[in-house]
A = this chain, B = another copy of it.
């Protein structure tokens, strides 16, 4: 599917062969996410034609009114609308109780016209909320964020076809695929072990047959571990912590970090950087994702991918 894009990246990479390569090939998340969204739009159109007006349904459930959540949700709703997904924003007030939130989740679970349910985190409520309990109340068949225990368990055991892949790691895999580099038999290093990035990233790389090392805050020899990575995925949440001189020559470097650092040259007084020191890593990596414009745009695209996939599974089960 990506053959022309892969070819183009490969051609660019091959220009550097023979001589000392000066800069890594940039893996564009903007471009890749656009390709994913275009493909999804076509798939939704096909479903609509084949199944008389059928559309994948998505619900974003929000508790409270955080500014950052509002922004993320509007990005998701916009992407869904462009693809043809029927997305609804369900808002509960800050005063909602846990029982009311759970009731909303269960009602969406029971609604056959909704194929994906996202509970926007963090829950912004004046009442105590057990986020884990609420996340796990989402039906595994609609958990397009891939955050429930059941999904995590399936992924950790390599049942990739039976689960929803968490969106950020799934986006990273899509970007790695873009390079044309196969991870099978390679040494991959993941920095971070969070449930939305590091832990599922490990599983995805492992079940795509890489030998995987997971590093974290307790790893004493991070530069040496990074130096052995053919594929490096960083989700550490620390600005520019991975230095270029640590990176193995020719490695694929995927940076999940989004950090705001002071920058007096900007009107806002700050700029966004990743967890990798881009300028130096760029000198050694074979392929690298920029920040912004790398992993970031992929997350929403893969959420849409999961929603379309869920709708396809629904059709397969109920209309064939």
Contacts and interface: CB of A to CB of B under 8 A. Distances in A.
**For the complex, would chain A's binding face be called helix, strand, loop or mixed by DSSP majority?**
mixed
Interface string A136-172: 0000000000001111111111100000000000000
Interface in A222-271: 225
A319 interface: no
B211 A215 contact: yes
Given A199-B157, A211-B213, A184 B218 contact: yes
A195 interface: yes
Contacts of A195: 157-158
How many copies of this chain does one complex carry? 2
A219 interface: yes
Interface residues of A, number: 34
Contacts of A206: 193, 214, 216
B158 A193 contact: yes
Contact of A153 (B156, B158, B219): B156
A276 interface: no
A124 interface: no
B185 A211 contact: no
A195 B193 CA distance: 19
A18 interface: no
A212 interface: yes
A149 B158 contact: no
Q: Which of A151, A153, A202, A210 has the most CB of B within 10 A?
A: A153
Contacts of A156: 152-153, 155-156, 199, 203
18 contacts: A149-B149, A150-B153, A152-B153, A152-B154, A153-B153, A155-B156, A158-B195, A185-B218, A185-B220, A193-B207, A202-B202, A202-B214, A206-B214, A209-B216, A209-B218, A211-B216, A211-B218, A213-B214
Top 9 nearest A-B pairs (CB, nearest first) are A153-B153, A149-B153, A152-B153, A156-B156, A213-B213, A209-B218, A211-B219, A157-B195, A149-B150
